Structures are given as structure tokens and as C-alpha cells.
Structure 1
Amino acid sequence: MDIAALIAWVVTALGGFVLLARWISRGGLRQQQTRTTRFPARLVFGDFLLAAAGLAVWIIYLAADREALARTAFGILVAVALLGFTMFARWVPVYRTAAPAGAAGATTPAERHLPVPVVAAHGLLGAASLVLVLLAALGVGGS
């Protein structure tokens, strides 16, 4: 269960990195001043940094086999999931809104360009990671 959680978390992180890179490359940071984007930078980078910290704690847990580390990683992952759900809730209306004809890239929110399959896979794998980490922290399916 521990290794399955690690694999799910790493794959989820890779998808998150793709989404972050796409958001930045489409002007997400530049749109902070004009408030074109619905994703505040602190929300995006908070999710990224907490996820990375939680993954590091999970890897340390795998090496040290300390129950407290598993619970800490789960707590961090819950916070990451809440931030991710917040971004998803902000993304859905932006994605559903039709882009104005001839809209310039500066007026289209950066998150409008996030690929739906990557968003969906990232969310589903994130939920799977959360469940697997919880089960591992509870000792279900452990050695």
C-alpha cells in the first residue's frame, strides 16, 4: 500500500507540474496584476509547495517507517486536496465560458488553456493518492 501511494502521488505530482507549467506559459503570473486569472499565485504555488513537502514527508516515512510521519503526510495531503479542489471550482466556470471571438491572449485567463484530460487525471489520481495514503497510514494492507 505504501509504494502504491508513492506511485500515485508521484504521477499526480507530474500531472500537477504539467498544469503549473502550462498556466505559467499562458501568462498566469503576468495576469496577476490585471486579475484576468482566477487563480491567485499564492493558491497555485501553495498547492505546489505543499504537495512537494507532503511527498517529501511520505518518502521519509517510507525510509524511516514512523507512523507519525504517515499521519503528517496525510494531513498535508488533505490541505493539498482542499487547495486543488478550490482551483478546480474556480477553473470550471472559466473553462465553460466561451472565449470571445478574436480574444487576445492577455484577456483570456491562463487557466482556460489547461488540458481537460490532464486536469481530470490529476484530480482522480490525487483522490486515489489521498485514499491510498490514508489506508497506509491506518496500516491497512501493510507489511
Structure 2
Amino acid sequence: MESKKKILLMSNILVLLSSSLFLRTGSTYIENTPSTTVIQSKDLSEWWWTDIELLSDMSSGHSYNPCILIDESENIHIVWVDQTNDLLSSGTDSDIFYMVWTSATESWSSLELISSESTGNSRTPKLAIDAQGVVHVVCKMRWII
């Protein structure tokens, strides 16, 4: 049941960041590559939805391109692009921000600026976790010289 709560919390976060909502009673995931085809389906008709949770009210610009990852400890890691000028001293370009929900404390971390070194817009953040459980963030960065 705890895993369902975390998945639902993740869903609500995506709704906040993407500003769109699409509800249905079933979900199908299909991955098709040259060597494999994976189809996973879940019945969502008996799921319940948690309240929407505002992660940060510091942004006055657009937030988009969220990426979410759940680690082995069931912590929820999230990165996204924000276009707010000078949010956390980020400058006037779009930047990547990060937060983590820690399952042990059931709380969110403070907002963290990831892409502070670029002088141009940062885009398309992605999360990955290595064999040691370390979370990595990658993104496209534009440098203005």
C-alpha cells in the first residue's frame, strides 16, 4: 500500500509541473525496441488519489520537463526546468532544479539549483541511478561566451 501512495504522490507532482491532467481507469505501458517488447498494464480503478502537494512557491516563471525517479529506499527524486529569473541566484537563463522526498522522514528537501554554472538555457533533465545507489542528473546546457 505504501508503494501505491508514493506512485500517486509522483503522479500529483507531474500534474503540478505539467499543468495538465488526464484521468482514466486503466494504464498500459509499452516499450518497443529492436530486441525486446515490454508491455505492462495496471488496473487503476480501485486506486485513490492523494491531495496535490505544492513543492515550491518560489517560481514565478514556467516550470516544465519534470523527470522523476524512485530509488531502492523508496525516496522520490525529481528534477525540472524553471524559467524564473534569478531563482536561487540562478541568473536570467532557464535552469535545472532538484528536490527529493525522503521516505524515512516523509518530507521534501529544500529546493536545490543544479545547473548554476551554465550561462545559457539548461534543458531536458534526466535522472539515473548507478549500482551503488547514487542518483545522477544529466541535462542539455547551452554556454554563451
User: What TM-score bracket applies, with the shorter chain setting the length?
Assistant: under 0.3
Give the TM-score normalised by the residue count of structure 1.
0.24
Structure whose residues are more often strand by fraction: 2
Give the TM-score normalised by the residue count of structure 2.
0.23
Structure possessing the higher relative contact order (Cα contacts under 8 Å, 6 or more residues apart) = 1
Structure whose residues are more often helix by fraction: 1
